[in-house]
Structure 1
Amino acid sequence: MTTAFRAALAFSLLAGFYVLAGLVVAAALFFDVLLIIEFRVGVLKPAIVLTLAAAALVQAIWMVSRRKPGEQPGLAVTREQEPVLWRTVEELAQRVRTSPPDEIRLVAEVNAAVSEDTQLLGLRATRRRMYIGLPLLQTLTVDEMRAVLGHELGHYSGAHTRLGAPVYRGRVALLATVQGLARHRFLQRVFAGYAKLYLRLSQAVSRRQELEADEFAVAIAGRLAMGEALRKIHGTAAAWEVFMADYMSLSGAAGGRPATVFGGFHALISDPARQAELAALAERPEEASPYDSHPGLRERLAAIALLPEPEHVPDPRPATTLLVDSAIAAQAVEQSIWTPEAMTTLRPVSWEELVEQGVYSSLNADALRDLAVAGQRVMASPEPYLDAAFEALQRGQRQALEAHLHGLGWNPGEGMLAVVLARALEATLIRHGEARWTLSWSGPARLLFTDGEEVMVAEYAARVVADPSGVPGLRDWLADLGISRDYVPA
């Protein structure tokens, strides 16, 4: 089945979706008119059901059709700002026999992409945009970057982007319709089945288009450059996921944001221990799905290996040479990550401070406060002394403590109290200057005493919870550290 035929079939299915919706509306109108002409009890139920379903359908389609495009991500760069990058893109556009983009935007993503604003279901193009991920410029060579840019321009040359916008809008409309029919199970199942068929077919078209665009990339930079680019992107994407989940997620937790985002990412991917871990992540077997928009890495590499090798002069320089000043570009793109509110309310801090305060805020602060409050409620103490929780535990009030912690939002479970106690003890040490969370690019942040020894209180807390006779020893340990029994967490 050719790509053109698949695309035509996808458009036919998209048109069929609106025809199907129109049939539901027409059926609702038919039963409503029939009910008005001659009231029958047997007609009343289908009339009500179809009318409500038709209303939900029309509302979902109307909401999607009225939805306006969101703000464009990243930073737009002009020819004057980045002349080398623009000349490279325009030269490659000539190579693949297409018009260059009207706009180039640098984005904080491990990705490159193109889009095209269209009218009349993709028959008329209005504005082209190219998005280039700064992490790609930081990790690829010029040769590899040219392959990636050639791939994206290949989407223009193959008219792939003309199909993209209407196909995407159809996908959104179908999914919104399925959600809008939540109260109409039968119709929801009908439209859900139709949506699955449409998604499978449209995504199959997308996968074929990616392989076609790879042919343009190889024709420009060769099999080796494109293959290496795909491998690096695959590995860099895995590293970016780790970076976002384990480090960037701390932003805002203590009123701070990293002063240098890409500096932190560079430190992560440069750490020897992390490099081994990230290499293992990149080697994980891929799970293929008929709903994937891109073929798997192995499939793409196998297809590239069969393409003819062009004559070209290799350029192993780092891709950052395509930028006037990569540091200034990185700083500008970082500014685009944050909302205006975040820029004004979150302090730019070092990664060391962000980790120290962010991990404490997200992991320890609630545990310390909630354990003290739970102890106060159980023991009816005048203040939320942390020691009140110890006293409750020593007096056999574990279940009461756990009940109050559950009421404060902690998930009940066998080890819940031990977890809260361990985190509260860590927080107490931090608040009294005995320990601090320490940044590590090799793995999770480590809680260290001031002498550099790692704090490990989880097993100790579990033993005290299991055997409350250990509470006096816990009190003595804290007293030796200068932490009094009347300590009230702020």
Structure 2
Amino acid sequence: MSRNAPPVATRSAIALAGFPVVAGLQLAAVLLLLWAVLSVLPSAVALRAGVPLSIATVGALGYETWRALHTRRRTPAGVAVTRRQAPKLWELIDGAAAAAGVRPPDGVTVVADATAALGERTRVLGLIGGRRDLYLGLPLLQALPPARLRAVVAHELAHGSPKLGRWAPLAYRGRVAVGRMAPRLSRRNPAGAVLRAYARFYRRMDAPFSRAQELAADRIAADHAGVADAVAALRDLPALAGMQRLFHAEYVGPGWQAGYVPDDVFGGLLRVLAARSVEMSMLRAAEPAPSGPWDTHPPLAERVAALTPEPSPAASDTAPPSDAASAPEESPAEETVSEEKPAEPDEELVPDLPALGRALQAVAFPPRGRTVVSWDECLSFARTMEMEREAEAALAAISRASDAAVPDAAHLLTLVADGRLRAAAGAVFPDTSPEEITARIVDLLGLMLALAALRGGVARWRHSWTGAAEVVAVDGANLNLAELAAAAADPETAEAVRTYLTENGFDLAARADQRAAARARVLGGLVNLSADGTRTDLLITDLGLLLVPGLPRGRGVEAKRRLTRIAADGVPAGTEPPAEPDSDQEVRRFVPFADVAGVTVLPGRRKGWVLGLRDGGNLSLRPALDADELPGGWAAWDEAVTFLAGTR
């Protein structure tokens, strides 16, 4: 670090110590104002009003200030790994700690996310340190060779290195604590406005040292593990995180929502990493987006340029500079590193890593009533469930438009033969051209024929770790469902197609709504609403709304925890969700989007909504004064209102 780094670190530490000072001054100002008000009142009135006013002002503000400054760090779900269980991993960590000039962490926990972090149980916004635990993502142990993992661990431990200045450990602890505290400051917190303003001031004061500290930690990691491996690790971490997000969205998530869990989640991730090397290379070359306003890391290109050796003076004299040579990200050293692909670990840091993955899965992905199946079964059930949901929604719309029940492919073919399907589709999509209506009919028929083939046992899913799954014949041959659907869409050939499908084992009478109990995907949650005048909490899912009887006023934190737990357990779709085991009197209500005819927005300072139901009833919703949200709750609700107000 530069010579002026210690003063910068000292300034950052002093700014951190200002938080309790600002909080104390805020309390003192309120106390002084209260004393001034009471001093002008008659003695008898002041004595009677003093205690309740003190409780209502100083007491309430003091409690809210304590809540704001009392940061809680949630411990990630993981599996602790001791020195006896993984001596080589601990040897790597000890070496990284020695290189950083710090003591080894008190414990190591393997977690599910592709990340590495040093967690410390601090107090008073990091002013007082505590137990230090290193959290290592299992994907890092699976995908990174020891040299790159050594660089990752050295960087994390170097955040608390005294090599960066006497006050560097304190400054980093405080930065992490304030980064957790600031986003949690509610605008309804009377102590929040001043603390939020000071947090913004602190971030500006701390920014220079924060940047220098991250670059210095990169340098310590490069000195310990080598520049090439340190640069490769910088690129690998965001790439692995991106691949894990893709893996959960495309493979784990659909099965999870369908009520199934693969028996080897992390083994599937390893297969995706091996199969999608091209996507991995693209992610390694991309600049990751900042994780938030409190992200302490400089841009990746800047960090890589700081580690890449500059050309020697002799080389500079002999070769004229060019745009390609002057840009750090285009330098030969960096180009060589960026072309490297994640290598398999060349030594066993953790004995029996697959067993550790299964133990971690039991903690990070508890089934919670879901069925544990093989990967092939999980993906098959999930894709079929997605098709059934889509088919059920489409057939419900066709049934309403044709004023007749259309539960399966057989009834749909009857509508085609009678010429009524085109009229029904035109009613569902009134502003659509005839060509597009034909295309939509063919798509719906293709969907229903695929389900009929799967239900009849003449087709199966063929999955791929590199792309989308497809429906094929049992022997793997192509079914030509697109051609069959196009022929079935013609009223003149619909009956001939029906005969062909029946003779070949397609189950045309299989209903789209007869499926195993699925779980709706939770999009967000709101607490403390009024539903038809009753205090209610709300979960927004991809299939409908779950209304949960609310808790009394003053229990908002408990209500959010309860709603989070309900969302984690899953919301069964298509059936009435059961009541909580510990609450016999609680009755939840699930309102499918298919049962909502429209929505009306009520005017006023506090918006309200009236959902018109297809059975003729209404559901009125308004936020209470103490309404709050789970992360993304109001955004999910706005999207749901837009969807319900549109044509469906």
What TM-score range do you get, normalising by the shorter chain?
Answer: 0.7 to 0.9
- Stretch deviating more after TM superposition (78-87 or 448-457): 448-457
Structure 1 counterpart of 2:295, which letter?
D
| CA offset digits 1:279-320 (Å, max 9, x no partner) | 12322344568653322222112112259xxxxxxxx99265
| CA offset digits 1:15-66 (Å, max 9, x no partner) | 57636864885698589769988xxxxxxxxxxxxx9999997776454456
Verify: 1:477 aligned to 2:497, yes or no.
yes
Higher relative contact order (CA 8 A, sep 6+): 1
Q: Which residue of 2 aligns with 1:144?
A: 148
Structure 1 counterpart of 2:285, which letter?
E
Q: List aligned pairs for 1:68-467, cutoff 5 A.
A: 68-158=72-162, 162-180=170-188, 196-199=200-203, 202=206, 205-271=209-275, 274-287=276-289, 291-306=294-309, 318=345, 320-339=347-366, 342=367, 345-361=369-385, 363-381=386-404, 384-388=407-411, 391=415, 393-394=420-421, 396-398=423-425, 400-401=427-428, 423-450=447-474, 451-453=476-478, 457=482
What is the rounded CA distance, in whole Å, between the counterparts of 1:359 and 1:201 in structure 2?
51
Structure 1 residues 171 and 142: CA distance shift in structure 2, 3 A: closer
Q: Which residue of 2 aligns with 1:310?
A: none
Structure 1 residues 125 and 285: CA distance shift in structure 2, 3 A: closer
What is the rounded CA distance, in whole Å, between the counterparts of 2:108 and 2:507 in structure 1?
61
Structure 2 counterpart of 1:170, which letter?
V
Identity across aligned pairs (percent)?
A: 26
Conservation of the 8 A alpha-carbon contact between 2:27 and 2:62: no
Give the structure with the larger helix fraction: 1
What is the rounded CA distance, in whole Å, between the counterparts of 1:455 and 1:155 in structure 2?
59
Structure 1 residues 188 and 234: CA distance shift in structure 2, 3 A: closer
Q: Which residue of 2 aligns with 1:406?
A: none
Structure 1 residues 161 and 117: CA distance shift in structure 2, 3 A: farther
Root mean square deviation, CA, Å: 4.4
Report the 3-state secondary structure (helix = DSSP H, G, I; strand = E; otherwise coil) of the residue aligned with 1:321.
coil
Post-superposition offset of 1:234: 3.6
Conservation of the 8 A alpha-carbon contact between 1:375 and 1:385: no
Report the 3-state secondary structure (helix = DSSP H, G, I; strand = E; otherwise coil) of the residue aligned with 1:470.
coil
What is the rounded CA distance, in whole Å, between the counterparts of 2:34 and 2:406 in structure 1?
67
- Stretch deviating more after TM superposition (127-136 or 71-80): 71-80
Post-superposition offset of 1:85: 1.7
The aligned length equals 447
Conservation of the 8 A alpha-carbon contact between 2:251 and 2:379: yes
What is the rounded CA distance, in whole Å, between the counterparts of 1:349 and 1:199 in structure 2?
48
When normalised by structure 2's length, the TM-score is 0.58
Conservation of the 8 A alpha-carbon contact between 1:139 and 1:319: no
Conservation of the 8 A alpha-carbon contact between 2:78 and 2:364: yes
Structure 1 residues 219 and 394: CA distance shift in structure 2, 3 A: closer
What is the rounded CA distance, in whole Å, between the counterparts of 2:62 and 2:459 in structure 1?
60
Post-superposition offset of 1:368: 2.3
| CA offset digits 1:126-159 (Å, max 9, x no partner) | 2110112222222222222222222222123247
Q: Which residue of 2 aligns with 1:408?
A: none
What is the rounded CA distance, in whole Å, between the counterparts of 1:180 and 1:326 in structure 2?
47
What is the rounded CA distance, in whole Å, between the counterparts of 1:379 and 1:142 in structure 2?
64
Q: Which residue of 2 aligns with 1:312?
A: none
When normalised by structure 1's length, the TM-score is 0.75
Structure 2 counterpart of 1:215, which letter?
R
What is the rounded CA distance, in whole Å, between the counterparts of 2:73 and 2:293 in structure 1?
27
Structure 1 counterpart of 2:301, which letter?
R
Structure 1 residues 401 and 29: CA distance shift in structure 2, 3 A: farther
Give the structure with the larger strand fraction: 2
